[in-house]
Amino acid sequence: MINSREVKVDEIEKEAKYYYDNGYRFVTETCLEEDGKFKIIYTFEREYELENFHVYVNPAEEVPSISKIYFAALLVENEIQELFGVKFKNLAIDFEGLLFLGEYAPISPQASIEIMRRDKGDKNE
């Protein structure tokens, strides 16, 4: 029962700039799986009212990052990149898989879709 509107992948930066100029605060991003695709929900807040929008992402697509506009989004996007395997471009700091998981950890443990391979050829489940 949340109200959230759908947005295309190339319009994410424009929407984030609109919220930044109007004084909204960044809350978080949520990633879940629906019918073989990933759905990312962005949440912003001003004066105790929440506003959301979501995008649908194919497993191999790259999503533009909003960390140049909102610095706080950097940590959440790195976490989604490591736990689910969705790739983000133009991150302000890219931790390349070392923020959450270690070097010998299983790849993208929270997703059941296989999208990443290591150099040696091991696959996700």
Partner 1 sequence: MSDKSTIPFGPQHPVLPEPIHLKLVVEDEKVVEAYPSFGFVHRGLEMLVQKKDFNQMVYVVDHICGICSAMHGQAYCQAVEELIGIDVPERAKYLRVVWAELHRIHSHLLWFGLLADAFGFENLFMLSWRIREKIMDILEATAGNRVIISVNIVGGVRRDIDTEQAKWLLDELKEVEEGLKELEKIVKNNYTIKQRTVGIGVLSKEDAYMFGAVGPTLRGSGVPIDMRTTGYAAYGNLDFEPVVETDGDTYARTIVRVREMFQSIDLVRQALNKMPEGEINVKVKPNLPAGEVITRVEQPRGEVFYYIKSSGGKNLDRLRIRTPTFANLASLLHMLPGSTLADVPVLVLTIDPCISCTER
Chain contacts with partner 1 (rule: CB under 8 A): 1-2, 20, 25-28, 30, 32, 41, 43, 48, 50, 70-72, 74-76, 93, 95, 98-102, 109-110
Distance in angstroms (rounded) separating the CA atoms of residues 102 and 100:
7
Distance in angstroms (rounded) separating the CA atoms of residues 82 and 97:
6
Comparison of 9 and 30: residue with beta carbon closer to partner 1:
30
Comparison of 4 and 10: residue with beta carbon closer to partner 1:
4
Least separation in angstroms between residue 117's CB and partner 1 is 22
Comparison of 45 and 61: residue with beta carbon closer to partner 1:
45
Which of 52, 36, 40 lies closest to 112, judged by CA? 36
Least separation in angstroms between residue 59's CB and partner 1 is 17
Q: E-assigned strands of 47-94? A: 49-57, 62-64, 87-89
CB atoms within 10 A of CB 56: 15
